[in-house]
Amino acid sequence: MNARKALREARLILIGIPVALWTLVPIYHMFLFALSSKDDAFSGQLWPSHPTLNNFAIVFEEKHYFLNHFWRQLGNSLVIAIAVGVITLAIATFAAFAISRLKVRGGRLVMNCALFTYFIPAAFLAVPMYKAMGVYGLLNTQWALILAMITLASPYAIWVLKQASDKLPYELDEAARIDGASPLQLFRLVYVPLMVPSLVAIGTYALLLAWNEYLYAFLLLSNDKDITLAVALGHFLSADDSPWEVLMATGLIYALPPAAIYYVFRRYMVSGLTAGAVKS
Amino acid sequence: MASVAFQNVEKNFGSTKVIHGITFEIQDGEFLVLVGPSGCGKSTLLRMLAGLEEISGGVVSIDGRKVNDVDSKDRDIAMVFQSYALYPHMTVRDNMGFSLKLRKADARITTERVARAAKILNLEPYLDRFPRELSGGQRQRVAMGRAIVRDPKVFLFDEPLSNLDAKLRVAMRAEIKALHQRLKTTTVYVTHDQIEAMTMADRIVVMHDGVIEQIGTPLELYDHPDNLFVAQFIGSPAMNIVNGTLHRHGGTAYVEAAGGTRWPLESGVGHDGQQVAFGIRPEHLAVTDVGTVGAVPAQITVVEPTGAETELLVQAGEAPIVLVTHGRTSVRPGDAIGLAVDPAMVHVFDQASGDRLVPVMQ
C-alpha cells in the first residue's frame, strides 16, 4: 500500500519538476538580468559576480532613453487596467443579472453570441477594431484601448458570471420579491453580496487582461506619453544594442502587480473562475 | 387576516395545461391544506396565489380584491419555502427584518417586531447568527419568523417540512399548528404528505392532475371519500380496495372478487352485476375464526407489531389486504383466519368512474 503511494508521489514529482523548471527558469533569468550589470548579464553564470540594484535606479529615475516616461506609462497601464476591470465588471454583472435572474427576453441569444466570440481570435479583430476606433475618432486616445479591451473581456465575463448566477437558488429572488424588493433592490441587497467571489475573480481577470495586453495597445496608441508599459517594453527591442538588463528590471516591476493581485485574491480566483465550469 | 378565493383558475405552461379551472374559497383565519401527489398542481396553485406564477385564466382574489395583476410585494402575503430561502449573507435578525427594511419601516418598530417574532419562535439566542450556523429546524423557524414579522394577510407554506428529518417534522408540525392557533392568520399550506394534511388542516383540498378531487375537513375526507383517488390517498395504511362484481340476493348484498371471496355490504348500494371497487379501511376489519359465517377466508402473510397496534398483511383470495388490530395478537404468518367486515364501514365505488356509489355512513 505504502509502496504504491510512494510510487504515485514519485510520478507526480517526476512530472512536477520539469513543469516547475519550465515555468521558473525564465523568471529566474529575468531576475538574474535585472540584478546584473551590463557586463555581467551575458556571462552565463547562475548568479552575477557583482549583483546590483543600479538597473532599478535607472528605471525609477527614468535615466534611459527608453524610459523617459516610465512613471507616466506605468500610470497609463494602471488607469487603463482599472478602467477595463471596473467597466467590464459593471457590464457583465448587469448582463448576468438580467439574463440569469430577471430572465429577460433574448438572454439566450446574448449568451450564444458571447460563446460564439470564443471562436474568433482577438488578433483577427485587431484591424477592424482599429478602423472602428478611427471612425469614432478615438485613435491615440486611451479610451480606444479601454473600449477595445472591454469588448474583448466582456463575453467571457458575462458567460462566467451568468453561470455563477445560475447557481444561486431562485427561491432567494422569489423570497425577496415577496418581501417587497424591486429588481434594483434585489440586485443591490441580495445578488451582489452573494456574487462577491465571482465578481472579484472576473474583475481581476479583466484587469489583468488589460494590463498584459500588447497587440491592441501597440495598434491603438502611438504617442509615447499615452502608451502603456507593455508597449514601452517592446520599444526596447527596436534598438540595435538593447539594454537587456534595464529591460528585465522594468519587466520585473511590470510583472509585480499581477502577481500581487493573484496572491491577494487567490482564494477567489479558483472558486470564482471554475464556478459554472460544471453544472452542480 | 383575509379570505382567499380561486374562481375557475387555470394555468398553462406553453401548450400543457396543468391546472384545469379550479374554484374554491378559503375563509378568514382558516388553515387550508392543499395536498396531492407530486405534479398535481398544488405548488403551482400556491405560487399563483403568491404572484410567482402568472395566472393563465380565471380570477384569484385576496380579501375580495382581484390580484391577478398585482405584484407579489403588494399582495400582503408571506411565504415559507421548502428550501427556506434564507439570505445567506444576512444574520437571522437581518433576514427577519428584511421586508420591513425594504418598506423603510422605523428602526424601532423593526427591532420590536423582530424581537417579538424571535420570542414566539424561541430564536432569541440565534439573532446574530448566520443561516449556515443554524440547524435545519432553526432555519425553518427563521423562515417562519420572516413571515411573522411581516404580519401579512395570508401565510403561504410550500412543503416547508420536506427537508427535515422525521422526528423534527413531527415537532415542527405541532409548532406551525400552535402558531396558527395563536396568530389566527389565514394560511395556505401545500404538502404531499397526507398525514401533515390530516393533522394540521381545518380543511383539506385534495388535488390530482390539476383538478380538485374533494374538499372537506380531514375527517370528512377520511369517512366519506368522494372517489377512489381520495379513498386511497387519505389514510395510512391506505384503504383496502378489492375489485369485483356486485351481487344482490333478497335483502343481502356482497361483492364477489377474483378468487371467489365474497365481501359483504349493506343493501341498497349499486345494482346487481355492477363492476365495483369494494373499499374498507384497515381498522374496520377484524380477525375471527376461520369458517365464521359472513367472514372472508384469508391467510396471514406478515405480522408487523408496532407496540400500540399490530399491522397484519393477509391474502384474501387474490387480494392482498392490510388490517390493523389494537393491542397484541397471537396469530402468526401462515395461519388461516376469517376477516370480519363491518358492512356499515364499507365504501363502494364504481370501477369505471371511480365515483363513490352511495354514502355508507350518515
CA distance B130 to A64: 57
For residue B57, give the 3-state DSSP assignment: strand
Q: Strands B16-26, B4-13: parallel, antiparallel or unpaired by DSSP?
A: antiparallel
Average pLDDT of chain A? Answer: 88
Q: Average pLDDT of A242-266?
A: 89
Does the N-terminal peptide bond of residue B237 adopt cis geometry, omega within 30 degrees of 0? yes
Return the residue matching grid coordinates 369494494.
B278
Task: Select the more confidently predicted residue: A190 or A268.
Answer: A190
Are B73 and A180 an interchain contact pair (Cβ–Cβ within 8 Å)? Answer: yes
Grade residue A279 by pLDDT with cuts at 50, 70 and 90: very low
pLDDT number for residue B349: 94
Q: How many CB atoms lie within 10 A of CB A197?
A: 18
Separation of alpha carbons B345 and B241, rounded Å = 13
Task: Quote the CA–CA distance of B39 and B210 in Å, as a whole number.
Answer: 8
pLDDT tens figures, B183-201:
999 999 999 999 999 999 9
Chain B residues touching A101 at Cβ < 8 A: none
What is the ipTM metric for this complex?
0.82
Q: What is the pLDDT of residue B361?
A: 41
User: What tens digit of pLDDT does each residue of B324-350 get?
Assistant: 998 788 888 999 999 999 888 999 999
Q: Residue A273: pLDDT above 70?
A: no
Residues of B in contact with A180 (CB under 8 A): 73, 99, 102-103
Work out the mean pLDDT of chain B and round it to a whole number: 91
Residue of B nearest to A179 (CA): B99
Task: Using CA coordinates, name the residue in chain A closest to B97.
Answer: A179
What's the gap between Cα A155 and its chain centre?
A: 15
Residue B99 contacts A where some CB pair is shorter than 8 Å: yes
When scoring B101, B103, B104, B188 by the number of chain A Cβ atoms within 10 A, the one with the most, hence best to mutate, is B101
Taking CB atoms and an 8 Å cutoff, what residues of chain B touch A175? Answer: 79, 81, 85-87, 146
Q: Which residues of A touch B (CB under 8 A)?
A: 169, 171-172, 174-181, 185, 189-190, 193-194
B281: CB partners within 8 A, 6+ apart: B235, B239, B240, B345
The closest CB to that of B89, out of A169, A174, A193, belongs to A193
3-state secondary structure of B318: coil
Taking the CA of residue A178 and the nearest CA in chain B, the distance in Å comes to 5
**A175–B52: do the CB atoms touch at under 8 Å?**
no
Joined grid coordinates for residue B54: 402568472
Q: Are A195 and A272 in contact (CB under 8 A)?
A: no
Q: How far is C-alpha A76 from the chain's CA centre?
A: 15
Give the pairing of strands B240-249 and B275-280.
antiparallel
Angle at A125 between CA A120 and CA A131, to 5 degrees: 160
The pTM (predicted TM-score) of the whole model is 0.82
Rounded to the nearest angstrom, the minimum Cα separation between B25 and chain A is 22
> Is the CB of residue B200 less than 8 Å away from at least one CB of chain A?
no
Quote the crossing angle between the two packed helices A229-236 and A70-96, to the nearest 10°: 140
Spatial CA neighbour of A235 closest among B207, A249, A243: A243
Each residue of A23-49: pLDDT tens digit? 999 999 888 888 888 777 777 777 888
Strands B275-280 and B252-257: unpaired
Place of cell 481581476: A204
pLDDT tens, residue by residue, A130-155: 999 999 999 889 999 999 999 999 99
pLDDT digit string, tens, across residues B231-258 = 999 998 999 999 999 998 877 889 999 8
pLDDT-derived band at A65, boundaries 50, 70, 90: confident
Q: What is the mean pLDDT of residues A98-119?
A: 90
Residue A275 is predicted with a pLDDT of: 52
Residue A98 is given by DSSP the state I
Lowest mean pLDDT among A187-201, A236-250, B211-225: A236-250
* Residue B41 touches partner A, C-beta closer than 8 Å: no
In angstroms, rounded to a whole number, what is the distance separating the alpha carbons of residues B253 and B275? 13
Residue B77: strand pairing partners: B154
Q: Is B103 on the interface with A (CB under 8 A)?
A: yes
Does pLDDT of B359 surpass 50?
Answer: no
Give the count of beta carbons closer than 10 Å to the beta carbon of residue B213.
23
Chain A / chain B CB contacts < 8 angstroms: 54
Strands B31-35 and B186-191: parallel
The C-alpha atoms of residue B170 and residue B168 are separated, in whole angstroms, by 5
- β-partners of residue B288 are B338
Q: Name the residue among B50, B89, B103 with its Cβ closest to that of A178.
A: B50
Locus of grid cell 422525521: B166
Cβ neighbour number for residue B333 with a 10 Å cutoff:
12
Residues from chain A contacting residue B98 (CB–CB below 8 Å)? 176, 179, 189
Closest Cα of chain B to A194: distance in Å? 7
B146 chain-A contacts, CB cut-off 8 A: 175, 179
Distances (CA, A) of A248 to A26, A145, A234, A255, B46: 11, 25, 12, 10, 67
Contact B146 A194 (CB under 8 A): no
Cα A103 to the chain's mean position, in Å? Answer: 30
In Å, what is the CA distance from B163 to each residue of B35, B121, B126, B158? 17, 19, 20, 11
Task: Check residue B130 and give its pLDDT.
Answer: 93
Residues 6+ apart with CB under 8 A from B159: B43, B82, B190, B191, B192
Contact (CB<8Å) A177/B78: no
Chain B residue at shortest CA distance from A186: B102
Torsion of CA B98, B100, B101, B105, to 10 degrees: -170
Q: What's at A118, amino acid-wise?
A: Y
With a CB cutoff of 8 Å and minimum separation 6, the contacts of B339 are: B285, B286, B287, B288, B295, B296, B297, B298, B314, B316, B321, B323
pLDDT per position as a tens digit, B10-65: 999 989 999 999 999 999 999 999 999 998 999 999 999 999 999 999 999 999 99
Nearest to B268 by CA among B251, B280, B256, B285: B251
Nearest-CA distance B152 → chain A (Å)? 10
